Amino acid sequence: MPPAIDAPKPAAGQLPAPAKSTPTFSPDRVTVLFVLGGPGAGKGTQCAKLVKEHGFTHLSAGDLLRAEQERPGSQFGDLIRRYIKDGLIVPMEVTVQLLENAMTDALRKTGSVTGRFLIDGFPRKMDQAHKFEEAVCPAKMVLFYDCSEEVMEKRLMERGKTSGRADDNAESIRKRFRTFVETSMPVVDYYEKEGKVIKVDATATPDSVYATTQKRLAERLGANF
Ligand code: UDP
Ligand code: MG
């Protein structure tokens, strides 16, 4: 059945891609771990360590959005800028397509049909979770970094001194916390019910959190994960 309203057609080579029902990547060949946690919980830090020692490919949804925002000719630059500043979730079609493109690129670079991805800071909203698993790849597990707002705020304010990020300031941080609690925690709860969440306390030092991460992953995925 045709849609009731004609969606605007993106130009060739632009986002988003058409809706489809079979995932692009099979979970037999492509392992996806979602990495979730509040802003400043340490997702990026832990992912970097996992890449180094366990050979995952790290894709940060926020980094991909910031790169798209800066890409000359992007039709989404202004939209992404506004959403990020306000700590809101960018419409999922954009983010899902950026992730799919990045996964395709990464596999092309290695020349392999198999891959292991850490998808950092995504999905932050239920619609994204469903869309990604339906159209791109079903997820194996969710690594959830649990941290108090007090600790996260301190880290973000510290990072803000040098990050150059438009959302590492007190006002944006407050909005991001709110979005996390209202919109993103339900995603964690959903996967928890599916039995897919590996929860790690993220208040300690990076090395100590990493040690816990490795232990938990080994328990769930096997010693040679
Ligand atoms: N963002 C989004 N959709 C996503 C991931 C990120 O809209 O799937 C936006 C959102 O505005 C978020 C911002 O990008 O607040 C920064 O995300 P990032 O993951 O870089 O921040 P972190 O949580 O790691 O500090
Ligand atoms: Mg991050």
What structural domains does the chain harbor?
30-218 (3.40.50.300)
Q: Which ligand is nearest to the CA of 155?
A: 1
Å from CA of 27 to ligand 2 middle = 25
What confidence tens digit (pLDDT) does each residue in 19-65 have? 667 999 999 999 999 999 999 999 999 999 999 999 999 999 999 99
pTM of the model: 0.91
Mean pLDDT score across all residues of the chain: 94
What confidence tens digit (pLDDT) does each residue in 122-135 have? 999 999 999 999 99
Dihedrals phi, psi of 42, to nearest 5 degrees? 110, 20
Secondary-structure percent of the chain, ordered helix, strand, coil, rounded to 5? 50, 15, 35
What confidence tens digit (pLDDT) does each residue in 108-155 have? 999 999 999 999 999 999 999 999 999 999 999 999 999 999 999 999
Ligand 1, pocket residues at CB < 6 Å: 39-40, 43-44, 60-62, 65, 83-84, 87-90, 95, 121-122, 124, 128, 167, 176
Q: Binning pLDDT at 50, 70 and 90, where does residue 3 land?
A: very low
Question: Closest ligand 1 atom, CA of 123?
Answer: 8
Q: Mean pLDDT throughout 186-194?
A: 98
- Give DSSP secondary structure letters for 146-191: E--HHHHHHHHHHHHHHH--TT-SHHHHHHHHHHIIIIIHHHHHHH
